[in-house]
Structure 1
Amino acid sequence: MSLRAGDPAEIGGYPLEARLGSGGMGTVFLARTSSGRPVAIKLIHQQFAADDEFRIRFRQEVAAARRVSGAFTAAVVDAAPEAEQPWMATTYIQGHTLARRIAMKGPLSGAELRRLAIGLAEALRDIHRVGVVHRDLKPSNVVLSPEGPRVIDFGISRAVDQQTLTITGRVIGTPPFMSPEQLQAPRDVGPRSDVFSLGTLLAYAATGHGPFDADSPYIAAYQVVHEEPSLEDVPAALRMVAESCLAKEANARPSADELLVLLRDLPTDLDQIDARGAGAGRTRDMVTEHHFATPATPTPAPPTPATPTPAAPTPAASATTPAGPDTGSADTSIGRRSRPRWRPVFAAAVAVTVAAIGGGVAALTAGGFGGNSGGDKGNSLAVPGAALPDGFEPWHKAVLGGRPDVPDELRCVARDEALFCGGGSVVATRIRAKDGSRVWTAKSPGVPVNGVHLVGATDDTVLGYRFAAQDAPQDPRSEVVAIDANNGRELWSVPSGTQSTAVTGRTQDAVVVGSDVVTVDASNSRFEARNAHSGHVTWTSPFPAGTQCAPVPVGPQLVAMCAKDAEVNAFSVRHPTLYPVDRASGTLGRPVEVNGPAVPIGVANGRLVLLQVHMEGTDPAGYNGVVRVDPASRKVTYSRPAQTYAGTPGMADGTVYVSGQTGLVTALDPATGRKKWSRQTGVEGASGPVAGAGALYFSSATGRVVALSPDDGKILWTTDPQVDGLTGQQGASPRVTLAGRAVIVAAAKNTLFAFDAQKPPKSG
């Protein structure tokens, strides 16, 4: 939509290109940053600028949007809530809103509908984890991007620990998609109000109409509070989930974490259901299983001897902890719902997350990308006969982060008997591998980018990421920080770009190669190589014209993976190009084109190995090809596995591994693409592998670890979960680090624990 007469030419220094739309409170424009990246700027209408109450709400919107910036929302780029005419700039998300999509093409169905449902639940999970309630989840606030659904417009959202902004006689929201408590008692609105709204969206997406649609908003509001939803046309399997979301009482609804588990159990194609609404041929998780209670008075079923006994309910999270399951109610837990429409067999079960392909990736280690490594040495790998650190005893510690509202998770790298970890709101910390005691910690004040962890480490320097605080807009949004490994003193810092996920599918904006660190500059226009300890710039290398690039280490060497600006901006890189990088000068060699989309995962026999991503429309749906690239000879070979494998990819000792959401681990030959073996484990959505001591280690965010034999995938041992965390995650970088024979595991909430590989904790 072209700019109109009277529209400004620029806002806050951002030149405007077009109108994206206009609503009751403001107009949204398409603009460009100085580097040319598109942003959406919301400019508040002039008549509201003098309204103090509105300014308060707009400041809340900016604060909430900053807190939840992540994989499922639009990240805040800039804002001026105190300007004469307030405005906020966010990343531009390409795609139609759900409302527009339904109007153009009609209701969604099958796998597309299931992906939308899971994506929206993931978005709510991330929003609620940082303590925010959206309060206006509706079709026009969901954008269907090529990466999946994004939730936008936090105009009436609030932090859980804030007072609700209320106006006598005025209901803020959209009645057909509001919860009963929003209409009756706005101050009591919590996370499960958003779950109710999500239930209305599921029905709307499946049928083209809401479950409480009416000619009048007043009638719609009455139906929300008093009437049962209209769900007759919703596919039976999804209908049962929607019913649980649309319970009138907030306590009877699942949390976003629990909802993800329910959605994960739905059949891949929601249209393929039997007469009872159960999916045919779906894979059940070995650890967690969910059942729906029948809505009518059921006939008692005969007892089943093999049915497990539900675990005791986990105590509700404290009011100051925004993350974790069941934060929607302060005084109830899974075991104390007044009107349960569903129940978990194991109350400790938590969420399934289909994260963007990625995770903090620092260097190639043991043939694979490791999110906890750096330099040519890679991880300190345990080998048969390796010793434990002197004085080692099993330990379990938590590292205090910089922000209590950030759901942190660390990644670590071992150097001799020192352990260096970072991620979330921790730039880096040094820990003694023998007992978990901390030597020093450097904290990050701001909200981190999802999946960004430690950059890496050399013999004398640790490198991590620091994110600016919300009240320090003058600081770089993200920086690479170098810290003296011995005393924790900051040596230098440099602003860092953040575009690599769009290029490589992995968060890899800085890598350690030898004694240098290679970063992407803040304008996303060139590589910069520095001595890791001194910060002295050894070379800079501009990206090829019209492209954006990310550094990819290949053992001691380096390649640049680049994509055209248009593909990066559209988050649809289908034609990546690789350039060998001269380590001494930064000069780019001759280009090597790769059939994409493809994700680099490791090195085998000196060749870079990538997995080709299978796309279903605009959605990634697993991996269906193996690519090997020899940077020296520019030779590219392709192999096609017998099937598509979905999950988290990794590489160790020359073998490709894919770890699925439900614990299935598959080993593939990178030369032929053939399956070597597959093994069903009890570790859902594990990241890995890490190889050492004759075993492969995979671990989930709960701290549950499984050790497999590299030869045939035989399960050597499995540990129990250590903390409450998300399971079924995809794309996370490895959480296990080996210091000699010691297995060190990073889990949710900045938890670290360690044990002897030969004496793992007993399961059960």
Structure 2
Amino acid sequence: MGSPSREPTRGRDLKPANVMLDDNGPASSTSASRAPPSSASPTRSPRPGEMGAPPARAKPRVGEGTPPFMSPEQFSSPHEVGPAADIFSLGAVVAYAATGRGPFDSPSPWETATRVVEGAPELDGIPGELRPFAELCLEKHPKSRPTPDELLTLLRDGTRPGPRPAPDEAPGPPTRLDRPRSKRRRRLVIASSAGALLLAVTASAAVVRLTGGGSVRSDLPPGWREWHAAAKASDDAGGAFTSCGATGTSLVCAGDDVKAARFSLATGKHTWSRPVDSTPDDSGSDEGSVLGARAGRVFVYANDETEKTSDNTFTTVAHYSVQSVNATTGQVIWKTRVGDGENALAPDLEDGGARVIPEGVVARVGDNALSYALLDADDGTVRWKRPMPKGQTCAVGSAAHRAYLVCQPDEMNTTSVSALDPATGKPRWTVTAQGALDLLGQDHGRLILAEPTPETPYRAITTVDTTTHRLLRVPLSRTQPADANIHLAHGTLYFTLGNGSVRAVSPRTGHQSWESNSTVEFPGPPLASATHVYIASPSGRLAALDVRTGRVDATRPGRNDAGPTNMADSGAPLVLTGDALYVPYGIRSVYTVDVRHL
């Protein structure tokens, strides 16, 4: 691709297939030409196709590339492609190296391109120390991405660059900085070196093996085998886990008065368990919730209840705290009190009490949850605290790693959604829609909201463009039953019924693409990958449905050791780590399967 002194081409095809491994470690096809020859290398030059050799292809022109690893501007405005496109591609390659899949993967090249331009990247499974790097590189707007110097600082010092204003919030058109050509070339070289360094770190962690052709090995935890295990249960235990999270070598689950319980991802060994209330004679009934998991930690909540007596009346007083726990040892790294009093609300996921974003945990705080605050991810300190809107009932929501405040005014059938500034907590923008809506997530740059009511069938959903803030009512091509549960997973709305029926609906058009009898009764929230949708029952019955057609490709029966589960409840959310699927079931139990061999 040219002599070593030539400036790297803007918008070149940076992808896993163009990352090669030789005696000096990983390198891109451009940086490899600058690498010093190894003393053990043969004297002849490698031929095209050999490891260490540049691929035998012409230099890509501006706007060319491989869709999963191209930047948004390469699709929308190729004439404006600059060095920032390489930063975006680097982020996509890092995500692939860490997880074995691209952050915008889709069976359709058109769908992939749409996800690159509008959708949020799929970054689950990226090690905690690499995730901030990938998130910064994959910012949609070129000017929101870090410069090569900032990337180098992040790699060297672990210091994250300060937030930049989003393009739609800038007071005017962005200012173009015309740097001298020599500095631009130096910074592009730094970016290429930083990319090679980052890939070396990822490769040394044995997350995935990159070859000249971009192939990967089976993605299972080292030493993995199929297992099932149960957490230690007290005499009055009778409930299931409500949520789980995976990080490092640990699967941590919560529920049924369990703050957190740890299982080995590979073997299922149960090493520790902690109650929601650590005080003796616990009379509370908090279920517990894994708010999030990353970098070897899990965020959970505790409630050390007390009782007070007044006029011979006993009153239970809640003392809620959000905690960061070492997933391997169970040690509490930090805890921050968020609610004290008779009317304090649990900082859980189910009721919108707390959400984890890259900066930390956004939670409702105070006796009556009259405020919300951001707890720093590293030490739990309150970075900011703001009052809730008066006369409204509010929940904390999240989508695409950003926090939102979802509020419903008293005696009014409307819902306001506010995007929160992670630096200050102030709303960046607010929109108000008709109906009592729940925030389901984000798809292709649009927030997805629905109005779940036990009496009214689903006839439409509401979307909010996160850039223009435009509200849009999307009618459903088929009315969905009122008693259906609605979930957004991997860009598709899934309506599930207690009899096992599953319907797949596009959140963009409202069109129902398929309906399937999953054979799973009382299914829990669907978990979708690029190829399949997985659902499970409270007893552990599992089904894998083809994501395009709804065809049931595989099933697993429920487990006999599930115990007397309450079939009126739905199954708990599943966890997929590479090819290993973890299924909570029964009384505080989990089992795992290799999804390639269901």
TM-score (norm 1): 0.45
Paired with 1:443 and 1:482, the residues of 2 have a C-alpha distance of 15
- Equivalences for 1:65-214 in 2 at 5 Å? none
* Equivalent residues of 1:708, 1:715 under 8 A apart: yes
- TM-superposition CA deviations, 1:299-326 (whole Å, max 9, x none): xxxxxxxxxxxxxxxxxxxxxxxxxxxx
The one-letter code matched in structure 1 to 2:500 is G
* Equivalent residues of 1:686, 1:700 under 8 A apart: yes
Cα pair distance change 1:436/1:410, threshold 3 Å:
farther
* Equivalent residues of 2:319, 2:337 under 8 A apart: no
* Residue in structure 2 matched with residue 637 of structure 1 by the alignment: 472
* Equivalent residues of 1:500, 1:508 under 8 A apart: no
Percent of residue pairs bearing the same amino acid type = 21
Cα pair distance change 1:500/1:528, threshold 3 Å:
same
The one-letter code matched in structure 2 to 1:634 is H
Shift of 1:692: 2.9
1:758 alignment partner, SS class = helix
* Residue in structure 1 matched with residue 179 of structure 2 by the alignment: none
Paired residue for 1:493, among 336, 350, 359? 336
The one-letter code matched in structure 2 to 1:698 is I
Paired residue for 2:397, among 521, 546, 552? 552
Cα pair distance change 1:743/1:713, threshold 3 Å:
same
The one-letter code matched in structure 1 to 2:358 is G
1:587 aligns with 2:426: yes
Paired with 2:320 and 2:522, the residues of 1 have a C-alpha distance of 29
Paired with 2:545 and 2:521, the residues of 1 have a C-alpha distance of 15
* Equivalent residues of 2:537, 2:571 under 8 A apart: no
The one-letter code matched in structure 2 to 1:585 is T
* Residue in structure 1 matched with residue 220 of structure 2 by the alignment: 388
2:479 alignment partner, SS class = coil
* Residue in structure 2 matched with residue 187 of structure 1 by the alignment: none
Shift of 1:365: 9.6
* Residue in structure 1 matched with residue 103 of structure 2 by the alignment: none
* Residue in structure 2 matched with residue 398 of structure 1 by the alignment: 230
Q: After the TM superposition, which of the residue ranges 629-638 and 442-451 deviates more from structure 2?
A: 442-451
* Residue in structure 2 matched with residue 748 of structure 1 by the alignment: 586
1:586 alignment partner, SS class = coil
Paired with 2:344 and 2:521, the residues of 1 have a C-alpha distance of 27
1:640 alignment partner, SS class = strand
The one-letter code matched in structure 1 to 2:519 is G
Shift of 1:518: 0.8
* Residue in structure 2 matched with residue 524 of structure 1 by the alignment: 369
Shift of 1:688: 2.2
Paired with 2:543 and 2:343, the residues of 1 have a C-alpha distance of 33
Paired with 1:626 and 1:488, the residues of 2 have a C-alpha distance of 41
* Residue in structure 2 matched with residue 608 of structure 1 by the alignment: 447
* Equivalent residues of 2:284, 2:305 under 8 A apart: no
The one-letter code matched in structure 1 to 2:355 is V
- TM-superposition CA deviations, 1:404-451 (whole Å, max 9, x none): 345242421112432122222111123210011133322223466677
1:713 aligns with 2:557: no
1:481 aligns with 2:323: yes
Shift of 1:605: 0.8
Shift of 1:637: 0.8
* Residue in structure 2 matched with residue 244 of structure 1 by the alignment: none
The one-letter code matched in structure 1 to 2:590 is L
* Equivalent residues of 2:247, 2:327 under 8 A apart: no
Paired residue for 1:418, among 233, 250, 253? 250
2:239 alignment partner, SS class = coil
Shift of 1:504: 13
Paired with 2:304 and 2:533, the residues of 1 have a C-alpha distance of 37
2:498 alignment partner, SS class = coil
* Equivalent residues of 1:419, 1:433 under 8 A apart: yes
Q: Which runs of 5+ in 2 are unaligned?
A: 1-118, 136-206, 209-214, 309-314
The one-letter code matched in structure 2 to 1:631 is T
Shift of 1:720: 0.7
Paired residue for 2:503, among 653, 657, 666? 666
Paired with 1:435 and 1:486, the residues of 2 have a C-alpha distance of 14
Cα pair distance change 1:754/1:707, threshold 3 Å:
same
Cα pair distance change 1:483/1:451, threshold 3 Å:
closer
Shift of 1:542: 1.2
- Equivalences for 1:249-264 in 2 at 5 Å? none
- TM-superposition CA deviations, 1:54-99 (whole Å, max 9, x none): xxxxxxxxxxxxxxxxxxxxxxxxxxxxxxxxxxxxxxxxxxxxxx
* Equivalent residues of 2:254, 2:288 under 8 A apart: no
* Equivalent residues of 1:661, 1:728 under 8 A apart: no
Q: After the TM superposition, which of the residue ranges 505-514 and 600-609 deviates more from structure 2?
A: 505-514
Paired with 1:733 and 1:601, the residues of 2 have a C-alpha distance of 18
Paired with 1:727 and 1:406, the residues of 2 have a C-alpha distance of 9
Cα pair distance change 1:754/1:470, threshold 3 Å:
farther
Paired with 1:599 and 1:448, the residues of 2 have a C-alpha distance of 28
The one-letter code matched in structure 1 to 2:495 is V
The one-letter code matched in structure 2 to 1:484 is N
The one-letter code matched in structure 1 to 2:434 is N
* Residue in structure 2 matched with residue 246 of structure 1 by the alignment: none
* Equivalent residues of 1:367, 1:602 under 8 A apart: no
Alignment coverage as a number of residue pairs: 380
Paired residue for 2:293, among 454, 457, 465? 457
1:685 aligns with 2:517: no
- TM-superposition CA deviations, 1:662-716 (whole Å, max 9, x none): 0000000101211010101210121122123621111111111111110111101
Q: After the TM superposition, which of the residue ranges 677-686 and 402-411 deviates more from structure 2?
A: 402-411
2:427 alignment partner, SS class = coil
Paired with 1:368 and 1:648, the residues of 2 have a C-alpha distance of 26
- TM-superposition CA deviations, 1:127-185 (whole Å, max 9, x none): xxxxxxxxxxxxxxxxxxxxxxxxxxxxxxxxxxxxxxxxxxxxxxxxxxxxxxxxxxx
The one-letter code matched in structure 1 to 2:338 is P
Paired with 1:481 and 1:509, the residues of 2 have a C-alpha distance of 14
Paired residue for 2:386, among 522, 541, 544? 541
Paired residue for 1:624, among 459, 465, 469? 459
The one-letter code matched in structure 1 to 2:297 is T
Paired with 1:563 and 1:493, the residues of 2 have a C-alpha distance of 27
1:703 aligns with 2:540: yes
* Residue in structure 2 matched with residue 162 of structure 1 by the alignment: none
Cα pair distance change 1:740/1:604, threshold 3 Å:
same
Paired with 2:346 and 2:439, the residues of 1 have a C-alpha distance of 13
Measured on the aligned residues, the alpha-carbon RMSD in Å equals 3.7
Shift of 1:496: 4.1
Cα pair distance change 1:448/1:441, threshold 3 Å:
same
Cα pair distance change 1:458/1:697, threshold 3 Å:
same
Q: Which runs of 5+ in 1 are unaligned?
A: 1-363, 568-572
Paired with 1:533 and 1:667, the residues of 2 have a C-alpha distance of 39
* Equivalent residues of 2:276, 2:302 under 8 A apart: yes
Paired with 2:459 and 2:347, the residues of 1 have a C-alpha distance of 19
* Equivalent residues of 1:509, 1:551 under 8 A apart: yes
- TM-superposition CA deviations, 1:255-284 (whole Å, max 9, x none): xxxxxxxxxxxxxxxxxxxxxxxxxxxxxx
TM-score (norm 2): 0.57
* Equivalent residues of 1:430, 1:438 under 8 A apart: yes
1:648 aligns with 2:485: yes
* Equivalent residues of 1:508, 1:551 under 8 A apart: yes
Paired residue for 2:358, among 514, 518, 537? 514
* Residue in structure 1 matched with residue 595 of structure 2 by the alignment: 757
1:598 aligns with 2:437: yes
1:436 aligns with 2:268: yes
1:594 alignment partner, SS class = strand
Cα pair distance change 1:535/1:501, threshold 3 Å:
closer
1:576 alignment partner, SS class = strand
The one-letter code matched in structure 1 to 2:361 is V
